[in-house]
Amino acid sequence: MLRIGVLVSGGGTNLQAIIDAIESGVIPDSKVELVLSNKEDAMALDRATSAGISTEIIKRSEYESSAEFDEALAQTLSTYSIDLVLLAGFMAILGAGFFTKFENRVMNIHPALIPSFSGAGYYGLKVHQAVLEAGCKITGASVHFVTPEVDAGPLIIQKAVAVKQGDTPELLQRRVMEEVEWLIYPEAIRLFALGLLEVHGRQVIIKQ
Ligand code: GRF
């Protein structure tokens, strides 16, 4: 049984997609054991509670340094014996110390085709706004293993979606979520749960 911990800060639609994919058997032999938020009013916490999942809140403001905050997160995840950590709209940057405990066991979803529109400053609607300003005809989302460098870890799955005339950042964000994010995140977790992901430097090989 793969024990999953999900780090959230907001709406939790990706968390919901993951819960549903486990429930329906798309992701085998796995359970979300903990949803951990750095924001006490995150709607994702309500989704977790509705699904009977334990929740914890750890705020950055309660710690003197980022390193102590990272340590508190890692400690809590260890308490729940978490095997795989999923960032799902988690609005804090994890430091190098965190990854010593969870190397190649932390995934993130980013709402663009990395390396485009990624890295510091590209989060939430800003990503989609930048895609529209650049006049792109396609965008998408990327699931990757997380390393200390923001949005730069080994890519697991990417999928494209059309940008349409008349799109607003909000419309585009919704299309990227519905047509890409809620599918590729569960798929990446399914591959991990089946032991089919191998990391070789920056490359992720999917074993057949
Ligand atoms: C998603 O767009 C995800 O790609 C990004 O943050 C957003 C989180 O949305 N990392 P939600 O909280 O899963 O609804």
Q: Taking the CA of residue 101 as centre, how many other CA atoms within 13 Å lie in the half-sphere pointing to its CB?
A: 19
Residue 42 contacts residue 208 (beta carbons within 8 Å): no
Backbone phi and psi for residue 136, each to the nearest 5 degrees, phi listed first: -65, 145
Is the CB of residue 31 less than 8 Å from the CB of residue 61? no
CA 85 to chain centre: 9
- Residue nearest to ligand 1 atom 7, measured at CA: 89
Is the distance from the beta carbon of residue 10 to the nearest atom of ligand 1 less than 6 Å? yes
Nearest alpha carbon, ligand 1 atom 2 = 111
Task: Please calculate the CA angle 95-97-101 and round it to the nearest 5 degrees.
Answer: 120
C-alpha to C-alpha distance for 80 and 5, rounded to whole angstroms: 8
- Residue nearest to ligand 1 atom 8, measured at CA: 89
Helices in 51-201 by DSSP H: which ranges?
Answer: 66-79, 96-101, 125-133, 169-176, 182-193
In the chain, where are the structural domains located?
A: 1-102, 109-208
On the question of a common fold for 1-102 and 109-208, the answer reads: yes
What's residue 208's pLDDT? 85
CB of residue 181 inside a 6 A radius of ligand 1: yes
* Residues 78-91 pLDDT 10s: 999 999 999 999 99
CA 39 to centroid of ligand 1, rounded, Å: 14
Note the pLDDT of residue 100.
87
Can you tell me which residue has the tokens 């429930």? 23
Q: Is the CB of 14 under 6 A from ligand 1?
A: yes
Write out the catalytic residue numbers.
110
The stretches in the chain having pLDDT less than 70 are none
CA of 63 to the centre of ligand 1 (A): 25
Q: Which residues pair with 198 in a beta bridge?
A: 205
What is the largest distance, in Å, between two alpha-carbon atoms of the chain?
Answer: 49
Superfamily grouping for domain 109-208: Formyl transferase, N-terminal domain (3.40.50.170)
Q: How much distance in Å is there from the Cα of 195 to the middle of ligand 1?
A: 25
Query: Quick one: which atom of ligand 1 is closest to the CA of 181?
Result: 4
> Which CATH code is given to the segment(s) 1-102?
3.40.50.170
Two structure tokens written together for 201: 């430097």
Residue 51: per-residue pLDDT: 98
CA of 13 to the centre of ligand 1 (A): 7
5 within 8 A of 105, measured Cβ to Cβ = no
Asked if residue 11 has its Cβ within 6 Å of ligand 1, the reply is yes
Kindly give the number of the ligand 1 atom that is closest to the alpha carbon of 173.
2
Query: Which residue from 116, 137, 113, 117 is spatially nearest to 125, judged by alpha carbons?
Result: 117
